[in-house]
Structure 1
């Protein structure tokens, strides 16, 4: 089980008030400083505890939260990205070519 929390308003710049993921430890109530999954040490009295995920998440915390990563739906890793369109070819030229355009540099000669 994990807790979600961020620094209280007024204790840090707004850009530092990201939502951290804290592992729930048996001795957490006795600690004055908690360490989220990202490794930052945060004072308990400066924390705003959240009932759910709201606000900007701490990306390192999310990356280190293995439980959430294993329960997340597939996100498309390993599949090739869709083909990129050549910005120098207009929509009209794509229609004339049947939806495809030659991949060429900026010196297109047709």
Structure 2
């Protein structure tokens, strides 16, 4: 699974909620992306990052793929 890292643009959420989420890379960019944690964002409201910068989303990290490609499903 290929993941992209993005966080909400300034002004779209409070600064404390501007965490870096992990999203499965879609084949085409839809209007809405769903992070591994379940958070939904419009693609135009996200800042795409080239790596994790700032505070990462702990739920996304907990659900990120293991080296064998499986994804954890239990809540952290």
Residue of structure 2 equivalent to 1:2: 3
Deviation readout 1:16-54 (Å, 9 max, x if unpaired):
100000011213x2x111001000111111000001111
How far apart, in 2, do the equivalents of 1:25 and 1:10 lie? Answer: 25
How far apart, in 1, do the equivalents of 2:24 and 2:63 lie? Answer: 11
- Name the Cα RMSD after superposition: 1.3
Residue of structure 2 equivalent to 1:94: none
How many Å apart are 1:66 and its aligned residue?
A: 1.9
- Which one has the bigger strand percentage? 2
After TM superposition, the score normalised by the length of structure 2 is 0.81
How far apart, in 2, do the equivalents of 1:12 and 1:24 lie? Answer: 23
- Which one has the bigger helix percentage? 1
Which structure exhibits the higher relative contact order, with contacts defined as CA atoms closer than 8 Å and separated by 6 or more residues? 2
How many Å apart are 1:14 and its aligned residue?
A: 0.4
Residue of structure 1 equivalent to 2:51: 52
Residue of structure 1 equivalent to 2:16: 15
Residue of structure 1 equivalent to 2:40: 41
Unaligned runs of 5+ in 2: 69-76
